[in-house]
Structure 1
Amino acid sequence: MLLPRKLAGLPAGRHAKWAILLLWVAIVLVAAPNASRLSGAVQDDSTAELPRGAQSTRVEELTARFPGGELAPGIVAYVRDTGVTAADRTRAEADRRALAAVAAGPIAPAVPSRDGRALMLTVPLADDDHLADNAGRIRDQIERNAPPGLQVRLTGPAGAALDVGDAFEKVDKALLLVTVLLVAAVLLLTYRSPVLWLLPLLTAAVSLQVTGAVVYLLAEHAGLYVADGTSSILDALVFGITTDYALLLLARYREELRRTADRHEAMRAALRRAAAPITASAATVCLGLLCLLAAAMGFNHALGPVGAIGVLGGLAVVMTLLPALLVVLGRWVFWPRIPRHGDAPPARGTLWDRVGRRVAARPRLVWVCGTAVLAALAAGLLGAHTGLDREHFLTTTPSSSIGGRLLSAHYPGDESRPIEVVSERAATPGVLAAVARVPGVAGVGEPEPSVDGRLTRTEVVLASSSGGAAADTVRAVRASAPDALVGAGAAADLDLADAQAHDRRVVIPLVLGVVLLVLMVLLRALVAPLLVVATVVASYFAALGAAWLLFRHAFGFPALDVQVALMGFLFMVALGVDYNLFLVSRVREEAARSDHRTGVLRGLGLTGGVISSAGLVLASTFGVLGLMPVTMMVQIGVLVTLGVLLDTFLVRSVIVPALALDVGRRFWWPGRLAARAAAPARPPEPARS
């Protein structure tokens, strides 16, 4: 499938190229101010990221109907192992009076523990954009001149928000800089040109600006929800995928410059031939991301359309701005290795030529051994655990978690993280009586009526606030009070885990179906798409097994975050299929000109270098997520990086060519290539890496 000649010629037109450049200058001038406002479009709506329709989400949505509105209390723990002194109580009371200025309501006196070794002060704070700032004021106050020997920690929702804000502040500005430096290094090694490497970076920068502006405008004027943390994933996705597409177009343009005297005609030919795999790649990633619209988890649901916008923005820039820039700049941009018309292609014997010959010698042995390597890595998943506790949300132990442990040691259950039971006011006595009888419930608080008097909200302290025991208690509480809603604390954890399990069951098959369909349309075959998808899925499990071994033994993480399996699968399958798609579509093109075996070897030789560079670029952009302080982001970054490298250097370069050679022309069944008799091979043209 080739791009229509007139459409392909627009960015390469002798006059149209200037119009396209001016158009993109205008777009960037408009986009840049709006893109800079994207961080302000991140909505502070905690319910939108929660499991859609779950009890805990409905409890959160009802919060505004109760006195004080939406609150995120800061809980201060004062602990002295030898027993709280009169000076400690005086200090807690002084803090209570001083913190009245930042509180969203009256602050009750500190509650002593039964063992006399702790005090707990609860400071109500508004759950708004100023939460972290107000939590910082609490921390400054309680840590100022604390009595010797008294442990003082801020915990609760406000403490957790402050810890996350502090962690992001340390790395936010460095992430994009590190990404640019890593990608620039890969491009310099690839092109060994002082100029050419700048063009993929420029297109990526423009894509980021345009994507950021579109997402911001849709968030402000069309109700698009932008979740906290989305921008980091979006930056990695847009930067990596735009640079990849730019590398693929540059490689095809270089080929055409050797065949064509006129650089405009060379670009037209490059666009027509590169458009199908690049557009199919973008369609695969976009449709895969849009499968997240079927997700139950609010964060997953929100990421789908935002990510799809980023991919389309990258596609538009690469297929219009980059071609116009290249034809304006001319051949010299490739200096010192300028492709001239009539130049002989590089001599045979490149790395990917040698790989192809060795694979072709014994293809069945090669793909069997390659698959065994993937299986061995996947075996690393044995004994893996899923579901991080709140203490491991950040890569370092946050102060709020230490405070939570202090309170758990001196108060029944975990009073810093109770569940909430919301019921009709008339039914409240019976509901609370039933809840109090549930094993695992450590205490039931006093019901708080809603502003309109129709509902009550009651805090219930569990003997264990996290883990399997807490989940079992929540299920029992819900069973004992079927007419009430149970949320917050361990109930929210349970709903999140259930939503993620639903998303894995629903979204993963949808993504596989979309990817398979796109490959079938592009390759006009069934066997090849099935084999390609199977290899990518195998590389996913291999990467997940290898990543778990790293997380457990190198990073010290006790479990995989519940988000990681789905996010990793989505990015690895959608992006991993890309490289196989570029390879197999070129193999099909070459096989149509000669015979199947020659097509496989030439396709590998012609695409090996550029796809390897693209894989390194994408691995670098996602690898930067490993610098983030959030464990989930680190795990997604490491998993996708391992998966892309496996797919680039083992699956795409070894296993897929070996399978294609072993299966033979049946690889293209039921397409015409499968039935066609082997054509006489044309004289082989040396592969270009």
Structure 2
Amino acid sequence: MLGRLGGWVARHPWWTIGGWLVAAVLIVLLAPPLPTQPNQSHELSDDYQSVQVDRLQEHAFPGRQEAYTGVYVILRHPGGGSVTDADVVKAGQVGDALRGKKIVSVTGVDPQTTAPDRSLVWVPVRMIRSTVASVLVQQADAVTQIRAALPELLAGSDLQAKVGGDAAAYLDDSNSLSQSLSIVTIATLVLIIGLILLIFRGPLAAVLPIIVIPVTMEVALSIAAMVATPANLVFDQSLQIVVLILMFGIGADYFLFLLWRFRERLRAGDDRATALRYAVERAGRVIIGTALTTMGAVLVLLLASFRLFQAWGPALAIAVGTMAVTALTLIPALLRLLGPAIFWPSKGWQRQPKGRTAARLGQLVARRPAVVAVVSVALMAVLGAGVFTFKLSYDVQGGFPTDTESYQAQQQFEKVVPGAAGLNYPAEVMLRSKDGSRLGPEQLTAFVAAVQHLPGVGVVEPPSVGTADPSVAQVDIRLQQDPFSDDAIVHMRDTLRPAILAAAPAGTNVYVGGITSGYVDIDHATRRDLPVILVAAAVLIALILALVVRSLVAPLLLVPSVLLGFAAALGAAVYVFQDALDKPGLNFQLPLLLYLFVLAIGTDYNILMVSRLREEISMGHGPREAAGRAIQHAAPIAAAAGLILAGTFSVMLLAPVTMMRQLGFSVALGIAISAFVMAPFLVPALTVLVGRGFLWPSKAARQQDGRHTDRLSMAER
């Protein structure tokens, strides 16, 4: 089938390109905007405490719009001197001016407040609490307007202004993600162009994927947006960065697989149409196999109870599938038109590479397979030992840059207002009578008295009885710790929430919500999802591998090897971020995403090597000689593709967001292990040790040696 596809594309390149472009334009024009949600901390099923609190609030307080201090303008002297009475008056004038501007989404500006030590004065700006993306964008625009107005309002004064608060943090964090996307995009383009130029010495070969992949990415995101609406999927803001890295990485890999085979047949004297048909047939098997394994792995995310993970699965699978279709249609059509000119001005493509280094590595593995296998496993085991001390971190806010205006304002504010971080994010406790009767004052008073002296409790606000259902009441508990911090989340999980639940008055049920309790529920969901998805993905990848490599034995050896590679990458991340950089833990999303990327993408190079091993064995070579020849021919491709893919993920280290850095480092290392340890060393070594049974029950496992011998020839010794 792939041969027929390659033949059709070779005969009709212009029809292929035209059809692809028409389909792409229609998809992009018809697609709705990609739905994004900045905060999915409560995207959980209804059996979690924080979600039950949300439902009770909607039921008991319908239509309630909660005003809160979304922004505060801090005014202080740059040198740190005390504010004077004139400064306080100036702050009042600033508040009056902001009030008079009637900025959209600003519901009020409160009177200025002076810090007890007179180190600063602040002006609170009130907004409506919301998690709706469009409202948050409006509030961010309001912050931009406030910041733009302050220099003029403070003219003639030496006061320095900093704007903080949730709306300001949302704006600054969004700008950090946009900056990350720009940095990663530019670095990825430079890296891919540089590496392909280094490999093929041809500018056209370097530029072609840079043109094709962004267009394919736009099509993939448009398809994801079309699927998201009926499927009720909402993505977080970092999705586009991960999709960009993923598509540039696998797109460059697929391009290399095709170009390597295309060049191989051109060297042999084939015309460009014949060479293209061969390239699509041979490389297409690897592309389809790797695409299926990657898509299968990421689709397992649909089993997650956390909807952030659920949404990522289809989006990433669509990205991989779209890239695979492009690799088998548009890119071959372009290669058919360009022909040998793709390598211009280099003449090196006409010469058969000597491959001395790969040949020597092949001889080493063929002679000493047991030693090679033991050393490979030992190396990954040493790195993997770090997983025994890894911790999960839910401090999302702490992962953003600390040089932003909102962060600096928050730090200044917390110095003069203890517990300021928790002012806007209390623990929201809902009480509900079991028989549906109205909650009595004595029940609420008893509950407040029981919880106000619990460890970690700062202030307990007066209860609010439901306007639509008096059997429900809400009690806000302000914490002493930063509600986003890992310490607060651990304290809420292990101590405070159980104590609050135990304090429920007779005849009532108590539910604990709020941002901190929400992260406790995410912790429970993540710990539930990890083992489920790890097992499901491993089983699915094993089944897909069995179909792709047509062997039942190979997956039993490949999947555990890839799992060891995952442990090595995760352990190395622990050594670097948790130990060396003294971070409290790894981002809670990292283990799952790392597992899927390493399991799925890392398997690509194993499929490439096993495919070549099968090819060599089918030609009559014994396992030992087949391993040596497979390394000689396939290891350079795996190394080049792995270098590009690992490099594209490593550019995420340039992003100012900690989560992006951790993901980039870990996935890049995991891919490097797959491309430079497992594919060229461990997999061929296992093949030699197991023998032809590695490919059982395929015909290749029963193939008898032909004219080739399983011993290394004298020339190879």
Provide the TM-score with structure 1 as the length reference.
0.87
Deviation at 1:519, TM superposition (A): 0.8
Mapped pair 1:616 → 2:643: yes
Q: Which residue of 2 aligns with 1:443?
A: 459
> How far does the alpha carbon of each residue in 1:191-221 deviate from its partner, in whole angstroms, 9 at most, with x for none?
0123222333333233223213323444467
How do 1:573-588 residues align onto structure 2 when only pairs under 5 Å count? 573-588=599-614
Deviates further, 69-78 or 297-306: 69-78
How do 1:145-156 residues align onto structure 2 when only pairs under 5 Å count? 145=154, 154-156=163-165
Deviation at 1:241, TM superposition (A): 0.9
> How far does the alpha carbon of each residue in 1:242-279 deviate from its partner, in whole angstroms, 9 at most, with x for none?
11111101112222334463322222222222222211
1:541/1:436 Cα in 2 relative to 1: closer, same or farther (>3 Å)? Answer: farther
CA distance in 1, matches of 2:364, 2:686: 13
The counterpart of 1:55, out of the listed 45, 49, 63, is 49
SS at match of 1:420: strand
- Contact 1:76–1:121 (8 Å) recurs in 2: yes
Q: Which residue of 2 aligns with 1:294?
A: 303
Mapped pair 1:281 → 2:294: no
1:352/1:431 Cα in 2 relative to 1: closer, same or farther (>3 Å)? Answer: farther
SS at match of 2:175: helix
Matched residue type, 1:470 = M
SS at match of 1:73: strand
Deviation at 1:89, TM superposition (A): 5.1
- Contact 1:478–1:485 (8 Å) recurs in 2: yes
How do 1:364-383 residues align onto structure 2 when only pairs under 5 Å count? 364-381=370-387, 383=389
> How far does the alpha carbon of each residue in 1:585-627 deviate from its partner, in whole angstroms, 9 at most, with x for none?
2211211221222222222221112221111111122122222
Q: Which residue of 1 aligns with 2:272?
A: 263
SS at match of 1:446: coil
SS at match of 2:509: coil
How do 1:85-96 residues align onto structure 2 when only pairs under 5 Å count? 86=85, 90=89, 93-96=92-95
Mapped pair 1:27 → 2:43: no
Deviation at 1:58, TM superposition (A): 4.7
- Contact 2:176–2:401 (8 Å) recurs in 1: no
SS at match of 2:577: helix
Deviation at 1:315, TM superposition (A): 0.6
CA distance in 2, matches of 1:229, 1:59: 27
SS at match of 2:428: strand
CA distance in 2, matches of 1:566, 1:518: 20
Deviation at 1:539, TM superposition (A): 1.6
Matched residue type, 2:562 = V
Q: Which runs of 5+ in 1 are unaligned?
A: none
1:42/1:175 Cα in 2 relative to 1: closer, same or farther (>3 Å)? Answer: farther
Mapped pair 1:645 → 2:672: yes
- Contact 1:462–1:470 (8 Å) recurs in 2: no
Mapped pair 1:306 → 2:315: yes
- Contact 2:609–2:631 (8 Å) recurs in 1: yes
Mapped pair 1:18 → 2:19: no
SS at match of 2:551: coil
SS at match of 2:430: strand
> How far does the alpha carbon of each residue in 1:120-158 deviate from its partner, in whole angstroms, 9 at most, with x for none?
764332441212222334456678649999897544422
Deviates further, 611-620 or 130-139: 130-139
The counterpart of 1:629, out of the listed 640, 653, 656, is 656
Deviation at 1:645, TM superposition (A): 1.3
Mapped pair 1:656 → 2:683: yes
1:479/1:152 Cα in 2 relative to 1: closer, same or farther (>3 Å)? Answer: farther
- Contact 2:150–2:161 (8 Å) recurs in 1: yes
The counterpart of 1:74, out of the listed 49, 71, 74, is 71
- Contact 1:432–1:444 (8 Å) recurs in 2: no
How do 1:304-453 residues align onto structure 2 when only pairs under 5 Å count? 304-336=313-345, 345-347=352-354, 349-381=355-387, 383-390=389-396, 392-396=398-402, 398-405=404-411, 408=414, 410-411=416-417, 413=419, 414-424=422-432, 426-427=438-439, 429=441, 430=443, 433-434=446-447, 436-438=449-451, 439-440=454-455, 441-448=457-464, 452=468
CA distance in 1, matches of 2:449, 2:369: 67
Mapped pair 1:162 → 2:171: yes
SS at match of 1:483: strand
Q: Which residue of 1 aligns with 2:7?
A: 9
How do 1:497-646 residues align onto structure 2 when only pairs under 5 Å count? 497-552=523-578, 555=581, 557-594=583-620, 595-646=622-673
Deviates further, 118-127 or 509-518: 118-127
Matched residue type, 2:173 = V
SS at match of 2:663: helix
> How far does the alpha carbon of each residue in 1:156-208 deviate from its partner, in whole angstroms, 9 at most, with x for none?
42232132033234443333222111100010011012322233333323322
Give the number of equivalent residue pairs. Answer: 676
Matched residue type, 2:480 = A
CA distance in 1, matches of 2:263, 2:468: 71
SS at match of 2:9: coil
Q: Which residue of 1 aligns with 2:513?
A: 487
Deviates further, 395-404 or 505-514: 395-404
1:195/1:401 Cα in 2 relative to 1: closer, same or farther (>3 Å)? Answer: closer
> How far does the alpha carbon of each residue in 1:73-92 deviate from its partner, in whole angstroms, 9 at most, with x for none?
23556789998865565455
- Contact 1:390–1:401 (8 Å) recurs in 2: no
SS at match of 2:587: coil
Deviates further, 198-207 or 72-81: 72-81
Deviation at 1:563, TM superposition (A): 0.9
Matched residue type, 1:370 = S
CA distance in 2, matches of 1:320, 1:670: 32
1:312/1:111 Cα in 2 relative to 1: closer, same or farther (>3 Å)? Answer: same
1:92/1:473 Cα in 2 relative to 1: closer, same or farther (>3 Å)? Answer: farther
1:369/1:486 Cα in 2 relative to 1: closer, same or farther (>3 Å)? Answer: same
CA distance in 1, matches of 2:315, 2:627: 37
Identity of aligned residues (%): 30
- Contact 2:213–2:248 (8 Å) recurs in 1: yes
CA distance in 1, matches of 2:335, 2:669: 33
1:502/1:154 Cα in 2 relative to 1: closer, same or farther (>3 Å)? Answer: farther
- Contact 1:288–1:514 (8 Å) recurs in 2: yes
1:119/1:254 Cα in 2 relative to 1: closer, same or farther (>3 Å)? Answer: same
- Contact 1:388–1:562 (8 Å) recurs in 2: yes
1:416/1:280 Cα in 2 relative to 1: closer, same or farther (>3 Å)? Answer: same
1:328/1:141 Cα in 2 relative to 1: closer, same or farther (>3 Å)? Answer: closer
- Contact 2:694–2:701 (8 Å) recurs in 1: yes
The counterpart of 1:461, out of the listed 463, 478, 482, is 478
- Contact 2:28–2:218 (8 Å) recurs in 1: yes
1:417/1:600 Cα in 2 relative to 1: closer, same or farther (>3 Å)? Answer: same
Mapped pair 1:473 → 2:496: yes
CA distance in 1, matches of 2:464, 2:94: 26
Deviation at 1:580, TM superposition (A): 0.8
Deviation at 1:540, TM superposition (A): 1.6
1:265/1:419 Cα in 2 relative to 1: closer, same or farther (>3 Å)? Answer: same
SS at match of 1:257: helix
CA distance in 2, matches of 1:596, 1:540: 27
The counterpart of 2:246, out of the listed 229, 237, 241, is 237
CA distance in 2, matches of 1:266, 1:601: 25
- Contact 1:404–1:416 (8 Å) recurs in 2: no
Deviates further, 618-627 or 41-50: 41-50
Q: Which residue of 1 aligns with 2:198?
A: 189
CA distance in 2, matches of 1:217, 1:488: 32
CA distance in 1, matches of 2:362, 2:259: 23
